[in-house]
Structure 1
């Protein structure tokens, strides 16, 4: 829903009036006007940069600034005064301007968000393998993908959330073979383990036994390379993959059973993290897709066939190399599959006008090639494909390796975050009257909020060193600090009713109130910016800025001891608006805010 008030229109008004001033005073036409936020140490709400004008307007920049500033005071109702520092014209806006903005927002609970249009995007995230449980790397992936989907929705897009589950291949066969060989019929029920954990344990078990066989082969005189390729366990896993592809009943049934365990485990983790999907795709269904389009591409000259029968796409004109899309034996490669899957998705959801792939930055080249090939094949929607590339997540203890079982399990991480949040909350001692259930729910809310915020406040492209203790700090740029401020606001609102239809036009704003209003005004623009940049970090850091401004206001401006009832009502209404925007912003990050902490 849009408020009638549009803060961006002020910049348009000022721009037109600055051009008018230049025309009237210097008899010359100014093409563009450059604005920036006023520096904190200067008085002002918006700054006109004079220096770029000197190409058109001849004179002293300070004098030019004075001339334009006086013109704005005389001709723009929203401008109350100005000051000039060197080549910067700092414009001070009237209280009326900010109070009009505040009064014209119909509802801050929907402020900044747009109604969904017919313009649809698909966001892919998660995309796990069914041979191991979700880990910290997956957590960054799902949090990014889910948040970008929610931000796009808030910006007015229709969004479909999807994942492709990598449920076939040699890795899955390794887990299956290890369970068959060493499992003694264990099930999630008999072991009280989540299915994804149980299957993941057998992936680790395979690697342990495989290494023993390699050592044995080397001791018998084989080279390391020979030992790795000739180890009986690996040969048997490769045979199992061939049997799966041939549709062997026993192998397929085992595959279905073990994958079923994993899906139940994944679903429980997704629910705990608080993310969802509109549709799942499975690699076992999609790995044959795309081959028909290779034939079409061959006919149209997009692809070329080599003497051995393999098919390639020449991308050297685009500064890349040649890319294989079909092997000489006619089997598909990952690229073939991804071409087919993208096309299938548009068939399944015809209103899609673009797709966002949330995948780590080690796949940058793959997606560059995929998008180019789809454009060459003539698909218009391929112009709107985006790889949401992100950096890896490291821990203070070092890099993770799933084969060796040294990954940080997502479920364990969530549980440990809640535990840490509980310990800190108990120390603060403000929830002694909570029931055990209420405490558990609060600790989960704080722990998950800490984890999500810590990961999402960083630009997606940057690598993260994740420090769990640091993330649960109740001070600084953290999720719990913002949640605590929200809870403080709810405490204020419980003590006072927000007045309905109160006329605030007569009040004079305190500088701290103005700072909060200025920051509130930026929220719709921030949502649109975050959507166009696919960056939850912009929402996270905006929310932190808003909270800092609010806390400064709260500490310096009395709310219940205001000099008049109208001032008190305004300050309570301002608290309510900030609370609504924090809640909306955090919901776009997938974070819940508690009413008490």
Structure 2
């Protein structure tokens, strides 16, 4: 808030004039005034007592008098122990609403000159996206949106795992059991069709292991000797040797998967500016290993394998290249990190990856720093916890993991049932109803997954998420629709005046104060890569508006200025709800 900057500057002047000494701006602590005390802004006075040689209360009174005399918008103050509570003028708050909150670009920071890459999704091309991918995609997309609002130039990237033994398993199973099935011939999405053959491979593999064990082999021997796994390994070698037939099959099946992923991404509402493919990057990193050997960062063992010793950093020894010269994951990740930096020269690079990879990223970033990569300081692992479902709430297509498409369909079905039960679709056409069900169902899913801090594991209950009265997306969506309905009844088409001179009710003031925090919430969310802060801010805003709506009349206000002011206030609230939910990738309907 501008008023906070003004107060800080005047406190610096006050301390200089009152006590003849300087105080630095970063030593001045400003907070929101607690609800039980009068005022909107609180200054902590304890840091100034060593300068004033007075008690915190006396110091607060001195500074309060100075601010009241010198800052036009400070109309009163009170001191509670070591806290100076300032009352800000009504005029300041009404001007804040009209000049700031109602402006079209409110909450959009000016470009800060920094570039950031957010890498998320990172699917495997042998199966459809699942519930874990849903959290990953929503988190990555939302963080990208928040950083963009905060003034960053954002590159949304997706590193696709499109090669390896798991891909060959699906390919081999389709070759042996597929009878030339295609997405077109089966009506299945391409990613589901390929995933089906990954499951078929697994069943055949287990069957062959059982047969070999029954024939006298140990389980470990059987796992290595099963014909189907040997065939998959042989196919991988052929792929790496650019065998034309294998490469053609790989391209065809991956093409089916990408088409399927595209449909899922569209429904999720996420997108990417840059795709990287592991088939292009898996050989990268060997130059980096050579560079590290020359710099003495890595060392070779007698068998020719290359390692790094991170024991002094509290980690362990890490293999970075096998004895036969082939890559491990860390090898290609080192090379891909360099490739991404070479492509975009970004200041920050955020990897949205589950917390099971925490150790891997600690090692990766540390190695890059030891290699002298100046850009390594800008690397960040946005680690998130798993998502669980209550047992029996949803069945997955394959019986093991919850398919993203199934989950989204279930959410939209549940939204339809709940909405029709509550009779919220009177006067809607069928097309409008279906659009509304999708907006509510997807909004419920996204809000529920994003309102929790990323690091926390969460339990997702589809039924609980679609509650029009709870801590949910549909509650916020309904609040937005309610405001738009009020504005429509009033024939409201935009800001009604350039200035108000009113005595505000406590709820009006609370609402404006809350709206004025929106840019600060964006800044905090961006610095901590936390959509949860936006989600919970918008929920509290919606809750506060509902209280205001029930206790203060808008359309029936007797005074014309009060009516117009409340319409502007309602419009500003709808706008911030819309923008905040937009940063979460959530649409808000104008009616429901």
The reply to whether TM is greater than 0.5 is: yes
Q: CA deviation at 1:581?
A: 1.0
Aligned to 2:466: 472
1:429 and 2:447 matched:
no
Greater shift in the superposed pair: 314-323 or 52-61: 52-61
Report how many residues are paired.
589
Q: SS in structure 1 opposite 2:78?
A: strand
**Distance of aligned partners of 1:108 and 1:398 in 2 relative to their CA distance in 1, 3 Å threshold:** farther
Q: CA deviation at 1:314?
A: 2.4
Report the TM-score, using the length of structure 1 for normalisation: 0.94
Report the TM-score, using the length of structure 2 for normalisation: 0.95
Q: 1:252 aligns with which of 234, 247, 257?
A: 247
Q: 1:588 aligns with which of 556, 564, 583?
A: 583
Aligned to 1:209: 204
1:154 and 2:149 matched:
yes
Distance 1:106 1:98 in 2: 10
Distance 2:19 2:113 in 1: 48
Aligned to 1:240: 235
Distance 2:288 2:560 in 1: 71
Aligned to 2:7: 14
Q: SS in structure 2 opposite 1:168?
A: coil
Q: SS in structure 1 opposite 2:401?
A: coil
Distance 2:85 2:183 in 1: 66
**Distance of aligned partners of 1:23 and 1:378 in 2 relative to their CA distance in 1, 3 Å threshold:** closer
1:459-478 Cα distance to aligned partner (Å, 9 max, x none)? 11111111111111111221
Is the 1:502–1:566 Cα contact (8 Å) retained in structure 2? Answer: no
Aligned to 1:416: 410
Aligned to 2:70: 75
Distance 1:596 1:427 in 2: 17
**Distance of aligned partners of 1:226 and 1:110 in 2 relative to their CA distance in 1, 3 Å threshold:** same
Q: CA deviation at 1:493?
A: 1.3
Equivalent residues in 2 for 1:234-383, closer than 5 Å: 234-350=229-345, 352-383=346-377
Structure 1 consecutive aligned stretches of length 4 or more whose deviation exceeds 6 Å: 398-404
Q: CA deviation at 1:500?
A: 4.7
Q: SS in structure 2 opposite 1:102?
A: helix
Q: CA deviation at 1:34?
A: 2.1
Is the 1:204–1:402 Cα contact (8 Å) retained in structure 2? Answer: no
Greater shift in the superposed pair: 145-154 or 81-90: 81-90
Aligned to 2:532: 537
Is the 2:19–2:51 Cα contact (8 Å) retained in structure 1? Answer: no
Distance 1:521 1:362 in 2: 39
Q: SS in structure 1 opposite 2:347?
A: strand
Is the 2:121–2:158 Cα contact (8 Å) retained in structure 1? Answer: yes
Equivalent residues in 2 for 1:162-241, closer than 5 Å: 162-241=157-236
1:120 and 2:97 matched:
no
Greater shift in the superposed pair: 292-301 or 113-122: 113-122
Is the 2:444–2:465 Cα contact (8 Å) retained in structure 1? Answer: yes
Q: 1:523 aligns with which of 493, 514, 518?
A: 518
Q: Name stretches of at least 5 consecutive residues in structure 1 with no aligned partner.
A: 1-6
Distance 1:347 1:71 in 2: 54
Greater shift in the superposed pair: 319-328 or 145-154: 319-328
Q: CA deviation at 1:137?
A: 0.2
**Distance of aligned partners of 1:106 and 1:539 in 2 relative to their CA distance in 1, 3 Å threshold:** closer
Q: SS in structure 1 opposite 2:308?
A: strand
Q: 1:37 aligns with which of 28, 32, 35?
A: 32
Distance 1:222 1:400 in 2: 39
Q: CA deviation at 1:293?
A: 1.9
Q: SS in structure 2 opposite 1:263?
A: helix
**Distance of aligned partners of 1:107 and 1:81 in 2 relative to their CA distance in 1, 3 Å threshold:** closer
Is the 2:102–2:495 Cα contact (8 Å) retained in structure 1? Answer: no
Aligned to 1:46: 41
Greater shift in the superposed pair: 372-381 or 65-74: 65-74
Is the 2:496–2:568 Cα contact (8 Å) retained in structure 1? Answer: no
State the superposition RMSD in angstroms.
2.2
Distance 2:384 2:110 in 1: 29
1:571 and 2:566 matched:
yes
